[in-house]
Structure 1
C-alpha cells in the first residue's frame, strides 16, 4: 500500500513515516520543509514538497496513492483566526476533495482532544462526549470545524484520531515549553499538581495511525489515543526532571488570580492584535489546573491498540537524547 502523509516533516509526521516504512508501506512524505524532507527519502519514501492549503499541490501529490494520513496542521494555542482557518479547515477540505477525486481507500485525520477542554475535571472522556462548539481558542475551534468537514464528505472513507499530549525525541512543544518556564521561574503548579493527566509517547500515536489504516472496523469512527497511564501532573514532572538531572523546582500559583491575568492578557493581545503567545492563556491554565483523562476502550477494542512504549520509557528515551531533543 502507498500512503501519503501530510505534515511529514513535522514532529509527528517523521514518526508516522518511520512506523509505516517499518511495516513495508510505500510512503509519499508531503511537507513544506525540503531540508527535513530530503532526509526522509529512501527506497520506500519519496518526498514531495508542498502545502495542502494549495489544492493543486495536494491533488497532484495524491496521484497513485492508496491512503492518506492527514497529520499536517497549524498547532499552537495562539495566532490569527485566518491562519488557523486556512490551514486547519480549508486545508483539510482540500485534502478531502483530493481524496474524493482519486478515490482514496482510507483517510486518517489527526484531530485533537483539546476540543474537550473545559474549566472542570473530566475523567475517562469518551469520543461521543466531544462538544459541538468550543471557542476557548482558535486552534480548538478550527479542529472542531475540520472534524465537521470529515463528516460532510461521507463518500471519503475516514478515521479521526484524537491523540493526547504527544511527547518524544524531537518534541518542539510540550516538554520544551515546560522546561523554558522551569528555567525562568520553576514548574507552575495548581492544586499541588495532583490533577490527573494523560500523555502519549509519539511512537504510540504512530502505531495507532498504522492500525487505523489496517483495521476494517475503523472506517467512519473516531478514537481517543493515549498511553492509558493517567498520572498526577507533578508525578510526571518529577520523573522528567530527575531523568534530565534538573532541579525539581516548583512554583505554586493561585488559580483565581492567574485566571484573571490570563483573561486580561488574552483580551489585551486580541485588542492590540499581538500574534506572540501570552505567557498564560485560559487554555494552558485549564491544562495545569484540571484533571482530564480519556477513555481509549474503543481504540483497544476496534483497533487492537496497545501502547508499545510506557511513559517512563518515553521519558528515558527523551532524556537520553537531551538537549538534542
Structure 2
C-alpha cells in the first residue's frame, strides 16, 4: 500500500516507518527541511519536504497515496500556546483537507489519551469517556501549566477534525497511545529518569501505590500498520496500550535494575510539588525557553493513577500487545547502552 507518514523521523514515527517497510508498504515521508534524519537514515524511501502549515507541500505529499498516518505534533510540556495550536490543530486540519482533495481512502491521526484527562482516577477510561483534557493545577489560571497546552490542543484537534470529517463525509481513525517507551526515546520521561539516576540521584518523585499505563514502541508500530487494513467508518478512536497497567514503582524498579542502577527513594508529593511550582513560576517570569527539570505536569505523572481500557483495539481490529514488558525494557536499555546514552 502507498502510505504517507508524517513525523517519520521522530521517536514513534521512525518505528512506524520501520514496520511499514518491513511489511512491504511503499512509504512517502513528509519531512521538514533541516530535520535530523538520524532515526531513519538507514531506510531508503521517498521524501517530500515541508511542514503542516505548508499547504502546497501537503497537496504534493497526499497525491496518489492510499493511506495517511499522521504522527507529527508539537509534543512538549513547555513553550508558547500558539506553537501548540498551529502544529496540533491547524496542521492537522490542513492535512485532512489536502487528503480530501486527493481522495485519500484512509486517514489515521495520532491523538492522545490525554484528551480524556490524566488526572488521578481509580477507574480505567475508554474511548467513550468524556473529553476532559484540562488538568486543574494549583494556580493554573495565573500560571498556566504548559502540559495543558499539549493536552488541550490535541482535544481541540480531535473535535475540529471530527467536525470537518462529518461535514464532508470523511472517515477518520484516531490512534490514542498510552505512554510510550522504547529505543530512540528521549522525550517521554523514561530516558530522563534513567539518566538522572545514573547521575547519582538518591531521591526522586514517586509513589508506591499509583498505576501507570505504557506500551513498547515496536508494539505500537504494529498497531498502526494493522490500522491501515482496518475498515473503519465515520470517526473512530482506538486506545492502544499494554494489556494492563503496572505499578509505577515496579516500572521504574525494572528500568533501574535493567540498567544496573539502584532505584532512588520516593519523595512524597507534598515535598516535590511546591518545588515544581516555584520552578515553573521562575522560568515563566524569566522567559526561559527550555523547561525546568520539574513542572507540575511532569510531577503529577509520578503520583496519579492513569489507567485505560484497551480492549476495543482487540475487539474491532484484532490488535493486542503480547510483548513481555521486562524484555521490552531490557531491549530499550541495551539500545541506550550500545549507542552511548547510558
TM-score, scaled to structure 2: 0.87
- CA RMSD of superposed structures (Å): 2.1
Query: Does structure 1 conserve the Cα–Cα contact (< 8 Å) formed by 2:69 and 2:107?
Result: yes
Larger deviation, residues 198-207 vs 275-284:
275-284
Alpha-carbon distance between aligned partners in 2 of 1:186 and 1:58, rounded to the nearest angstrom:
48
Cα pair distance change 1:119/1:257, threshold 3 Å:
farther
Query: Does structure 1 conserve the Cα–Cα contact (< 8 Å) formed by 2:14 and 2:39?
Result: no
Query: Does structure 1 conserve the Cα–Cα contact (< 8 Å) formed by 2:252 and 2:263?
Result: no
Alpha-carbon distance between aligned partners in 2 of 1:93 and 1:256, rounded to the nearest angstrom:
41
Give a deviation string over 1:261-297, Cα, whole Å, max 9, x none: 3333333333333222122222212210011111011
Cα pair distance change 1:126/1:72, threshold 3 Å:
same
Per the TM alignment, residue 82 of structure 1 is displaced from its structure 2 partner at its CA by 1.3
Alpha-carbon distance between aligned partners in 1 of 2:240 and 2:230, rounded to the nearest angstrom:
15
Q: Which residue of 2 aligns with 1:27?
A: 27
Alignment of 1:1-325 (within 5 A): 1-32=1-32, 33=35, 35-36=37-38, 39-42=41-44, 45-134=45-134, 137-154=148-165, 155-173=169-187, 174-182=189-197, 183-186=199-202, 188-192=204-208, 194-217=209-232, 220-246=235-261, 248-323=262-337, 324=339
Query: Does structure 1 conserve the Cα–Cα contact (< 8 Å) formed by 2:277 and 2:295?
Result: yes
Query: Does structure 2 conserve the Cα–Cα contact (< 8 Å) formed by 1:41 and 1:47?
Result: no
Q: SS of the counterpart of 1:160?
A: strand
Q: SS of the counterpart of 1:107?
A: strand
Give a deviation string over 1:230-262, Cα, whole Å, max 9, x none: 11112111111112112x131332312322333
Give a deviation string over 1:96-141, Cα, whole Å, max 9, x none: 1111111110111111112334442343211121424516521111
Cα pair distance change 1:207/1:49, threshold 3 Å:
same
Give a deviation string over 1:282-315, Cα, whole Å, max 9, x none: 2212210011111011111001011142211211
Query: Does structure 2 conserve the Cα–Cα contact (< 8 Å) formed by 1:96 and 1:156?
Result: no
Query: Does structure 2 conserve the Cα–Cα contact (< 8 Å) formed by 1:195 and 1:233?
Result: yes
Alpha-carbon distance between aligned partners in 1 of 2:174 and 2:124, rounded to the nearest angstrom:
18
TM-score, scaled to structure 1: 0.91
Per the TM alignment, residue 80 of structure 1 is displaced from its structure 2 partner at its CA by 1.1
Of Structure 1 and Structure 2, the greater helix share is in 1
Alpha-carbon distance between aligned partners in 2 of 1:187 and 1:224, rounded to the nearest angstrom:
33
Alpha-carbon distance between aligned partners in 2 of 1:307 and 1:109, rounded to the nearest angstrom:
20
Matched positions, count:
321
Give a deviation string over 1:175-231, Cα, whole Å, max 9, x none: 221123322524624333x31111100011111112221111465210111111311
Per the TM alignment, residue 40 of structure 1 is displaced from its structure 2 partner at its CA by 4.9
Larger deviation, residues 298-307 vs 279-288:
279-288
Alpha-carbon distance between aligned partners in 2 of 1:83 and 1:127, rounded to the nearest angstrom:
27
Alpha-carbon distance between aligned partners in 2 of 1:252 and 1:20, rounded to the nearest angstrom:
40
